[in-house]
Amino acid sequence: MAKNYGIMCYGHNSIYIDEYLQNNYKKRKIHVKYSIPDGGVSEETGILLFIAGYGAQCNSKVYKRMRSDFADKYNLVTIQCDYFGYEYMQAGLEDVTVESIDLIRLNISTTNEKAKKIYSNNHININEFLNGNLKYKNEIRVKSNSHETIENFNDMGVMQALDNIVATIKVIKYLQRKKLNFNTNKIIIMGNSHGSYLGYLCNVMSKGLYTHILDNSAWTYPVYCNNLRYLVTTRGNSVLVVKHDYKIRNARSSLKGLKIKNLYDKVENKCKIVVYHGENDELITAKDKYEDVKYIPNVVFNLIRKEDIDNVIFKSTRHGLDADFPKLFEKFYKDYCNDILLNSKLDIDSKVRIPGGFIVDYSSGLPQLMKDSH
């Protein structure tokens, strides 16, 4: 049985505040979880970083189970963190403002008593609405009040990537302090949707650290940087539409919405990137995805078509593929991660330039984002 740990550690200050490098790594804290194989760590033990996308986090049941199970099954130290602004990527039903409701239709769809339980004094009871067994179709539109701040918000980019890199380095430093050798040629990122996008960003911001990326349906640009996000829940005749208007949408930052194509321009990528993308992905078409990644060295592009739906690993060709995460990883690992040669030296580039006029500097051991003077 894998040994599971959770720690709080300091993360990079928000790059969106003034003088963020002052007292860096002394203010922000991030939650990091990791699991050690039951058999311990040896030179054959790899590392796996999970990066969740929208609607998931460290405490999500599927990730808690995978961290523990994968550690033993694949001899991996598994890592995950609740990264910058993850709180605002959930359903957002706790604090909402009603934007549109047809009270006449609601009242004829149920009893007066139940209608008042659903909506009264400008307050909506979402559970009552979704479970109301309404006679006629009713749609309620609400806006999520996320209360994002410049110190912590869903930036969909550099800050979120920095947290995941820091989580990886922190666990590696722990292993090194314990004098535990591990397989530096097997440091993997498994992402889903936005999590996969962050995997690309982590890789280019920490050249030499990660060796493999499992990309399940990454977009190549965070769509919600420019567009509103709508979540639609339908239950019987109840239709709930939740609107998210993220802070980054109106931000003016040279680090906003970094495109994978631009990130990897002229980069000699050595990380094996394995893509699984559905032919009917609604967030980024398979054609656009392929055009943006086809020139990146060491990319394997697996287009998932209708005939590839096996109802075991893949259950659709839409965004996310309705994939069974453990079975997808098993396939990926068997095809691309077996028989990896061992390497005792971990070699991360000391300085990495990224678009927007910035350098990620590792001279102090942890990444520092600095303006590029050249």
Sketch the domain layout of the chain as residue ranges. 3-89+152-221+259-371, 93-145+223-256
Name the token pair of 226. 């420019």
Q: State residue 373's pLDDT score.
A: 75
Indicate the DSSP class of residue 257: S
Q: Which numeric CATH code is attached to 3-89+152-221+259-371?
A: 3.40.50.1820
What pLDDT score was predicted for residue 266? Answer: 86
Chain segment 292-305, per-residue pLDDT in tens: 999 999 999 999 99
SS3 at position 82: strand
H or E element, residue 67: helix 61-74
Positions in the chain whose pLDDT score sits under 50 = none
pLDDT value, residue 341? 67
- In terms of Cβ atoms closer than 10 Å to its own Cβ (0-12, 13-18, 19+), residue 53 is buried
> What's the mean pLDDT when you consider all of the chain?
95
Look at residue 374 in the predicted model and tell me its pLDDT: 66
Q: What is the pLDDT of residue 151?
A: 95
Give the C-alpha separation, 306 to 303, whole Å: 10
User: pTM, whole model, 2 decimals?
Assistant: 0.96
368-371/358-361 β-pairing: antiparallel
User: Residue 345: its pLDDT value, please?
Assistant: 75
